[in-house]
A and B are shown apart, each in its own frame.
Chain A
């Protein structure tokens, strides 16, 4: 079998960036699936696209711009009611410690 296109370490790194905890079995399963996706995409490498403009967007249009005029905002109580927890007008999340104290 050919060398996989993605290493197990890379799979675990991507999982960590996505905040996913994978068991060893799951990680190997992901590796196999990602390998086949990458293999599929690799077929595109066979095309010569040296004189093709890179595509940044699937619909050929320019971004419409908006005039700088304020519009009414959402109702705060309605928005906060959707949050699992809120306090003093803020969304409450687990305490973030930015530095070692």
Chain B
């Protein structure tokens, strides 16, 4: 297979998380019955006028800023003309000349090397309707316009990628960034993050690009790698057999492990773009762009670096805890909560303890759905639990049991420990023995207590809990201490 070099460029369509469509007020929620979320604008009825959604434009600017683009204060909407049953108007409103974002980049890491991939442009456009083939009577295609008009950004890369691995790394990183800045929910299965790949090969050393095929339907990271690798091999086969690669659109058939030509799309590249007369120029002045730049959330890579520097995490831990934006927020809130509660604890120590606990106990209870995530208990409760481990009331082993009870009951760690609702030493004789030992070992504190400094009671409780590895019932310890000291 040596002798040829693959050249890959990716086009990603990402749905933006606005509540309504790009040019009308229909909701963008996924899963409604067919055609329930439609109106004259998104059905393309004559005379209906599109009005751009401010939030969607802001999100698109945010994506441009996060990916190092030059954001245009002045951009234009254009009509992209083609006939297909998913497009009632006969054109898609997109951008052509003067797109919203241009000339950005994304740095990827493959095999320990960093490589900069150019981003040609990120423009705003409306999604098409969804075609359902072979359903119902089977003899027709059914068109559902719920998705029509959903705001998308199309992110077009330069043909800078040289392998399926690089393509995969680029897509994963892009998805990560779009999720952390709240632009896209990263859901490949539901199609809110979709990728087309332009793949060509050329003899190693040749400047000129080979003829490319456009791959569609590669909607999982595994498909992307498979589809691109297969397409590269197919083109090599064609060239080695003395043939020529033709420019065409091909679709990936995962079940058959191959790409096949989509003949219906043969003329699909003659779109005859022109400025949409229904939409005046889109002006988004420099001041607003700067305000959005200021408000840009911390990007995942910067976050991971900061966690390693300030919060005591390893590279691996930082990766696990930033796998989802909500998990990252949860970790930060819990780490901050613990540092605050446990007096004098360093941020790095709190971060490390919280990070370990979330990974070993919390994550398996977490479920995510797009940008949302469900946690068994709040981050403050986790901080509270780890704080009582820190003050010696319970040990780490007991903490896991307490956490399980927190998950089951929703009660706080303190309440559960006070109620003694889990395995503790409640043998009054054993506890009294331990209390006596502690009192004997600390005569000066006993003097302090008897002198009126009753605050040292907490010290004794801590000592007994430590001696029993957190297993003693604290209320019983408390009562026994008071009984013996006040006698």
> Taking beta carbons and an 8 Å cutoff, which residues of A are in contact with B?
13, 16-17, 19, 56-59, 61-71, 73-74, 76, 79-80, 85, 87-100
Contacts and interface: CB of A to CB of B under 8 A. Distances in A.
B39 interface: yes
A96 B55 contact: no
B139 A70 contact: no
Given A58-B277, A89-B33, A99-B260, A63 B282 contact: yes
B38 A76 contact: yes
B38 A90 contact: no
Label chain A's interface by main secondary structure: loop
B140 A93 contact: yes
A69 B19 contact: yes
Contacts of B263: 99-100
B275 A56 contact: yes
B275 A95 contact: no
B18 A80 contact: no
Contact of B141 (A62, A69, A95): A95
Nearest to B216: A98
A69 B40 contact: no
Chain B interface residue number, banded: 35 or more
A51 to B, nearest CB: 18
A13 B267 CA distance: 10
B264 A87 contact: no
A14 to B, nearest CB: 9
B20 A92 contact: no
B120 interface: no
Contacts of B176: none
Interface in B129-157: 131-137, 139-145
Interface stretch (B46-54, B334-342, B465-473): B46-54
Contact of B270 (A17, A76, A93): A17
Contact of B251 (A57, A92, A96, A98): A98
Interface in B225-279: 251, 253, 260-264, 267, 270, 272, 275, 277, 279
B141 A71 contact: no
Contacts of B133: 95-98
Given A63-B279, A66-B53, A95-B141, A88 B134 contact: no
B140 A85 contact: yes
B267 A91 contact: no
A10 to B, nearest CB: 11
Contacts of B53: 65-66, 68
Nearest to A92: B140
- Can you list the 9 inter-chain pairs with the closest CB atoms, starting with the nearest? A90-B142, A71-B25, A68-B55, A89-B34, A65-B54, A62-B283, A91-B143, A92-B140, A66-B51
Contacts of B421: none
A68 B131 CA distance: 27
B40 A17 contact: no
29 contacts: A56-B98, A56-B275, A57-B279, A57-B280, A62-B280, A65-B51, A65-B57, A66-B25, A66-B51, A66-B53, A68-B56, A70-B19, A73-B37, A73-B39, A76-B33, A76-B35, A76-B36, A88-B136, A91-B143, A93-B141, A93-B142, A94-B141, A95-B133, A95-B141, A97-B264, A99-B261, A99-B262, A100-B260, A100-B261
A93 B86 CA distance: 10
Given A89-B144, A98-B264, 17 more contacts: A16-B267, A56-B281, A57-B279, A63-B51, A63-B280, A65-B54, A67-B54, A68-B53, A71-B20, A71-B24, A71-B39, A90-B143, A91-B35, A93-B85, A96-B141, A99-B251, A100-B260
Contacts of B283: 62-63
B76 interface: yes
Contacts of A93: 85, 140-143
Contact of B52 (A56, A61, A63, A85): A63
Nearest to A55: B275
B35 A70 contact: no
B27 interface: yes
B171 interface: no
B19 to A, nearest CB: 5
A79 B263 CA distance: 32
Contacts of A88: 34, 135-136, 142
